[in-house]
Amino acid sequence: MSAASERPEPVQPEQADSTEPASIAPEPTVAPARPSSVRRSLASIVLAFETIVVFLAALVLWGLADASGGVWGLPSWAALVAGGVIILLLVATIGLLRFRFAFWLGWAIQVVVIVAGIINPAMYVVGALFGGLWAYCMVVGARIDRDRAAAAEPGKEPQ
């Protein structure tokens, strides 16, 4: 005999004995959703757009390296590898934004992008723009999160 044939058949509600109380399964409770952080949302937006720009900048550096024989004697593919590493850091940071250290990692990546200006001076502009955008989003996002938290507390008025 197989294991499937040994299982008892489920009792239908109309077949249940009326003397036994119906067993009602408790409805599952759902924990209230954690409010989303504006700072986290803004950080992920900035890093996602920066990923696209770093990808395009790596392609430009690769093309310039082919035309000029390399940057600092490095092969042309080194620009693609360096860009790929920065892109991986950016994507990983987006995934880690639920942790506090990821915001510091975001600051470090902004410094790396600015330092890339040594290889191509246009990266100073890109790094400064995204660094400024990152700083603005960190300050404004934190302020909005603080105001939301204060408004959620009973008896306190937002500042």
Q: How many domains does the chain have?
A: 1
Let me know if residue 8 belongs to a domain.
no
What does the pLDDT average to over 7-16? Answer: 59
Phi, psi of 71 (to 5 degrees): -105, 120
Check pLDDT > 70 for residue 67.
no
Q: Tens digit of pLDDT for each residue in 23-66?
A: 676 677 776 666 689 999 999 999 999 999 999 999 998 888 76
67 assigned to some structural domain: yes
| Tokens 């915001």 -> residue | 103
Phi/psi of residue 124, nearest 5 degrees: -60, -45
In a domain, 143, yes or no: yes
Residue 57 tokens read as 């900048």
User: Mean of the per-residue pLDDT values for the chain?
Assistant: 84
- pLDDT tens-digit map of 77-103: 888 999 999 999 999 999 999 999 999
* Residue 136 resides in a domain: yes
In a domain, residue 50? The reply is yes
Calculate the CA dihedral of residues 140, 44, 153, 158 and round it to 10 degrees: 20
In a domain, 13, yes or no: no
Q: What is the token pair recorded at 67?
A: 């035309």
